[in-house]
């Protein structure tokens, strides 16, 4: 995994990666598809995970925030991490990126842990669920990006699997590439 951050803030040992699977939704009153993301992280530091996000479309990409608002939905608790003391997460679609991470502009699905009882930890795995009426399309290796923040540090990682097949096509690397994202931080 490649760690990308601004000079002085990168931790080479940090790692975040995930995959999304799509299954037909069994709730007859809900959207047609259920998407389950499993995300693993290791901050590589003594700092626990602050929050993470799915960077859906970089600034100037082909999809608008309204496109994502129409394409995906999620419950007030989008997922959890941990087993002995589960940490629930709230989901928030941020149309202006993540202001706590320099350079992350565009549309981000922020995954914010509620750490009233337990901390997300320096190493962990979380499971997150969202829904869509749009069927799945394979994620291009360079298209969607994961980012996590811990202390004043952060790193980026890859995401594989499926994402709703939106007409504006965020799962294709045609409007950006992982190399272009990395280049933003050099």
Beta bridge partners of 33: 24, 132
Residue 125 pLDDT > 90, yes or no?
yes
By the 8 A CB rule, do 101 and 154 touch?
Answer: yes
Per-residue pLDDT band at 173 (split at 50, 70, 90): very low
Residue 59 pLDDT > 90, yes or no?
no
Q: What SS3 class is residue 169?
A: coil
pLDDT tens for residues 136-150? 999 876 667 777 788
Separation between Cα atoms, residue 22 and residue 1, nearest integer Å = 24
CATH of residue 166: 2.60.40
1, part of any domain: no
Please report the pLDDT score of residue 142 as a whole number.
60
Question: What predicted TM-score, i.e. pTM, was given to this entire model?
Answer: 0.83
Range of the structural domain that residue 152 is part of: 16-178
Please report the pLDDT score of residue 154 as a whole number.
85
3, part of any domain: no
127, part of any domain: yes
Residue 179 pLDDT > 80, yes or no?
no
119, part of any domain: yes
8, part of any domain: no
183, part of any domain: no
CA dihedral 29, 30, 34, 37 (to 10 degrees): -130
- The larger pLDDT score, comparing residue 57 to residue 14, is at 14
Residue 99 pLDDT > 90, yes or no?
no
Please report the pLDDT score of residue 140 as a whole number.
75
Domain count, the chain: 1
Residue 122 pLDDT > 70, yes or no?
yes
Q: Which of 7-16, 20-29, 67-76 has the lowest mean pLDDT?
A: 7-16
For 27, 134, 147, 171, 179, the CA distances from 18, given in Å and listed in that order, are 25, 21, 11, 15, 19
Q: Which residues contact 121 (CB under 8 A, 6 or more apart)?
A: 48, 49, 81, 82
Per-residue pLDDT band at 3 (split at 50, 70, 90): very low
Mean pLDDT of 93-107: 85
pLDDT tens for residues 34-48? 999 999 999 888 888
Separation between Cα atoms, residue 171 and residue 148, nearest integer Å = 20
Separation between Cα atoms, residue 32 and residue 56, nearest integer Å = 21
């Amino acid at each position: 995994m490649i760690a990308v951050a601004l000079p002085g803030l990168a931790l080479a040992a940090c790692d975040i990666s995930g995959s999304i699977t799509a299954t037909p939704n069994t709730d007859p009153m809900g959207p047609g598809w259920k998407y389950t993301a499993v995300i693993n992280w290791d901050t590589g530091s003594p700092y626990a995970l602050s929050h993470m996000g799915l960077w859906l479309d970089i600034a100037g990409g082909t999809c608008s925030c309204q496109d994502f608002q129409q394409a995906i939905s999620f419950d007030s608790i989008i997922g959890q991490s941990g087993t002995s003391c589960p940490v629930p997460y709230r989901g928030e679609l941020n149309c202006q990126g993540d202001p706590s991470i320099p350079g992350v502009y565009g549309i981000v699905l922020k995954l914010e842990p509620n750490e009233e009882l337990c901390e997300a930890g320096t190493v962990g795995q979380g499971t997150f669920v969202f829904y869509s009426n749009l069927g799945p399309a394979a994620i291009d290796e360079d298209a969607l990006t994961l980012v996590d923040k811990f202390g004043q540090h952060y790193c980026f990682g890859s995401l594989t699997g499926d994402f709703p097949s939106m007409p504006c096509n965020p799962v294709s690397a045609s409007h950006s590439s992982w190399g272009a994202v990395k280049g933003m931080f050099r």
